[in-house]
């Protein structure tokens, strides 16, 4: 009997301990947290996670806010703020809050949503840091109150007046492409619209990548068709991404360098769809006499070592059109930061 009493007392004390523990840690006040903050690790050096990049083409994006501590019989307006000291994105220029200055957790539900839209006027890569504030009745989780949202313009559209309609062809008077590692200016060109796509955008619309501008330390400025299989050695990490595209555009390019007055006259004289096609077809043959067949000059899916003044003749086999590019400014070597590896061009392309 003594043993039975002892066991009973021990079980009672143990049960009492659990009861005290539960009471100490029981959430008795309503609170909110970002779902993404609770389920993702903090970014290095930050007390919040940095989430997937938003593009202006994504439309409205929602971020779930969890509500716990018991349901509310009335809707709860949960305030939030921009953490200005850690944000580079500007409201009204780079993005807008669809939900205004606060989000709603409807009555008798356990979550609400912060909604954000990236605006077409965003320029470059930005970071928005948002912190929940709560309200007089609802607290905010100390550890899961903040998220970082990177955003950028994935597609650069040409400025007004850049694309000149010439009837059966377009004259793009000036355009600047970023190198393959440039985070702000895309390296993929849709020649029919003059839109420039960065990596995130082109992976959504790979068929738009008529041609790419890639940079390397040994071959400097390159025009290359993304479907080129030799990219597996030239830019292996990029090739591993491109080969997963639903469409990897291909074609043929030819480069003329050491430009002479007759070459300038040829470009200036391109005045119709037929002129452009004839120029490209002739260059595919004449380059063999002028420069010899080589990866630097073509014909092939890539030309290298582009210099200011060069003329590049393009045939897109994926989209079946011809174009002629004049290089207005190209870097002569690879010893520059990735953000400075740009090329400025003009071109004429069949409609």
Q: What is the mean pLDDT of each run of 10 residues along the chain (351 residues)?
A: 42 39 52 96 95 85 95 95 96 95 96 94 89 94 96 84 97 92 84 90 86 82 81 72 84 95 97 98 95 85 92 96 96 63 94 96
What was the pLDDT predicted at 232? 64
Q: List phi, psi (to 5°) of 7.
A: -65, -40
What was the pLDDT predicted at 173? 97
What was the pLDDT predicted at 339? 65
Q: From 180, 175, 260, select the one nearest 220 (Cα to Cα).
A: 180
What was the pLDDT predicted at 8? 41
What was the pLDDT predicted at 332? 59
What was the pLDDT predicted at 336? 63
What was the pLDDT predicted at 235? 76
Beta bridge partners of 63: 114
Identify the H or E element spanning 39: helix 35-39
pTM: 0.66
Q: From 183, 194, 112, select the one nearest 151 (Cα to Cα).
A: 183
Q: For the chain, give the longest Cα–Cα distance.
A: 115
CB atoms within 10 A of CB 252: 20
Burial of residue 85 (number of CB atoms within 10 Å: 0-12, 13-18, 19+): exposed
Sheet of 163-165, strands arranged across = 163-165, 169-178, 342-350, 321-330, 311-316, 251-256
């Amino acid at each position: 009997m003594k043993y039975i009493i002892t066991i009973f007392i021990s079980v009672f004390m143990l049960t009492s301990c659990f009861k005290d523990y539960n009471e100490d840690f029981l959430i008795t006040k309503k609170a909110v947290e970002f779902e993404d903050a609770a389920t993702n690790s903090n970014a290095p050096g930050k007390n919040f996670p940095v989430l997937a990049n938003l593009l202006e083409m994504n439309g409205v994006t929602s971020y779930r806010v969890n509500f716990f501590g018991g349901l509310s019989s009335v809707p709860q307006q949960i305030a939030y703020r921009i953490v200005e000291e850690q944000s580079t994105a500007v409201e009204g220029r780079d993005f807008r809050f669809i939900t205004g200055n606060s989000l709603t957790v409807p009555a008798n539900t356990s979550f609400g949503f912060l909604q954000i839209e990236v605006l077409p006027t965003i320029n470059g890569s930005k970071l928005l840091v948002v912190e929940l504030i709560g309200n007089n009745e609802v607290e905010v989780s100390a550890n899961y109150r903040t998220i970082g949202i990177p955003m950028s313009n994935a597609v650069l559209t040409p400025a007004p007046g850049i694309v000149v309609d010439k009837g059966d062809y377009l004259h793009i008077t000036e355009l600047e492409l970023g190198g393959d590692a440039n985070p702000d200016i895309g390296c993929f060109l849709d020649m029919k619209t003059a839109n420039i796509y960065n990596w995130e955008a082109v992976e959504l619309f790979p068929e738009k990548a008529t041609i790419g501008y890639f940079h390397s330390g040994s071959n400097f400025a390159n025009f290359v068709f993304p479907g080129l299989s030799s990219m597996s050695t030239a830019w292996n990490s990029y090739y591993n991404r491109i080969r997963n595209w639903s469409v990897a555009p291909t074609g043929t390019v030819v480069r003329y360098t050491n430009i002479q007055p007759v070459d300038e006259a040829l470009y200036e004289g391109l005045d119709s769809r037929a002129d452009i096609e004839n120029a490209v077809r002739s260059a595919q043959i004449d380059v063999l006499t002028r420069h010899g067949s080589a990866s630097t000059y073509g014909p092939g899916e890539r030309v290298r070592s582009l210099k200011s003044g060069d003329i590049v003749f393009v045939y897109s086999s994926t989209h079946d059109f011809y174009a002629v590019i004049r290089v207005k400014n190209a870097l002569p070597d690879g010893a520059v930061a990735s953000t400075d590896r740009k090329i400025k061009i003009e071109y004429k392309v069949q409609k």
